[in-house]
Chains A and B, each alone.
Chain A
Amino acid sequence: MLGITPEDMLFHTFAGIATIGAILVVLVRNPIYSALFLALTMCVLGAIFFTLEAYFVSVAQITVYAGAVMVLFVMVLMLFDLKHEHEDIFRITPLNLSKILAVAVMCGFLVGTGWLAVSAVNGNPGAHVAPQTVAQDLEKKELPNELPAKQTHINPDEDFTNAEDAALIDEAKKEEVVLPDPNVVASTSDAEFGSTVSLSRRLFSKYVFAFEAVSLLLLVAIVGAVALAKSKGGTHHGG
């Protein structure tokens, strides 16, 4: 009716759930409910990533963030006895109002800056631009504000009862369908954008040093976390 596509619908739904989830993270009193709403938001964000063709990232988001980090949060919250926590964030003090105002202004600026940046590169915010290949220079190409079309939609209203076309379709059906050989690994140029293969190829060539450094950082974080949280006597003295 309005040219609304399923992708748009998906996005708006997910966006709405994410926003509400985020607001509830901040608003609810019980911190465990906060954690659960945050997990919800993260899962929804994973779904949004999926619609953005970032398949690996999407799975990682759900596995790592929603699955590991939030579980850790919940576990730590369970350790605490937080009955006598009375937080009151709804007190209307000048300080609180100034905080909300400042954040709202910041949000407005962020949105405005992003809008300006996108339209400055584009020249026209609503233009449809054909999808570009990976190798092209960012400056030369315009920022498309459109989802690159992946497939054309078959209009079910069209009439296929034409005999000529029906014959053509029958012929096409008889042709052998060549299935891709699962033993052949896809080359870089064949790899789909956002797939694990293309991500890993870039990660282990251009960013391998950062990768190693981050692994070292993780080691440090592990050691640090253990050292910080451990009790005085260690495990063999029984606290």
Chain B
Amino acid sequence: MAVDFNSIIHVGLNHYLILSAVLFSIGVLGVLMRRNAIVILMSIELMLNAVNLVFVAFSKYNQNIDGQIMVFFVMTIAAAEAAVGLAIAVAIYKRFKEVNISRFENLKG
């Protein structure tokens, strides 16, 4: 199998896409496997960051500033979402004294 070493080293758009995909997948794994609600929120933030990376990369390669505008908005919304999510987590902790989501299965059935 002929691996073009030059194309691996020499950074192009594909590299950013691969990095973003990897970060995104790690974030998804975090969401699926961790049971602490806060850590899940953090994994979501990781996923959003991966997406931001894609936007910026494409923005650079198409020389179109709109991609960075999108990043601007994603960041804003992610921050808002983190704030509200953490507020909910605080409320839950106050009530139940824990944030382990495996204890909250009231939607069963």
Contacts and interface: CB of A to CB of B under 8 A. Distances in A.
A and B touch in the complex (CB under 8 A): yes
Interface of A: 2-5, 7-8, 11-12, 15, 18-19, 22-23, 25-26, 31, 34-35, 38, 41-42, 45, 48-49, 52-54, 56-57, 60-61, 64-65, 68-69, 72-73, 76-77, 79-80, 82, 85, 87, 89, 96, 99-100, 103-104, 106-107, 110-111, 114-115, 118, 125-126, 131-134, 136, 138, 141, 143-147, 193-194, 198-199, 202-203, 206-207, 210, 214, 217-218, 221-222, 224-226, 228-229, 231
A125 B13 CA distance: 9
A72 B86 contact: yes
B29 A42 contact: no
Tell me if A's interface is mostly helix, strand, loop or mixed. Answer: helix
A194 B60 contact: yes
Contacts of A57: 52, 56, 68, 71-72, 75
A52 B41 contact: no
Interface of B: 4-7, 9-19, 21-30, 32-36, 38-39, 41-43, 45-46, 49, 52-53, 56-57, 59-66, 68-69, 71-73, 75-84, 86-91, 93-94, 98-100
A23 B26 contact: yes
Nearest to A102: B32
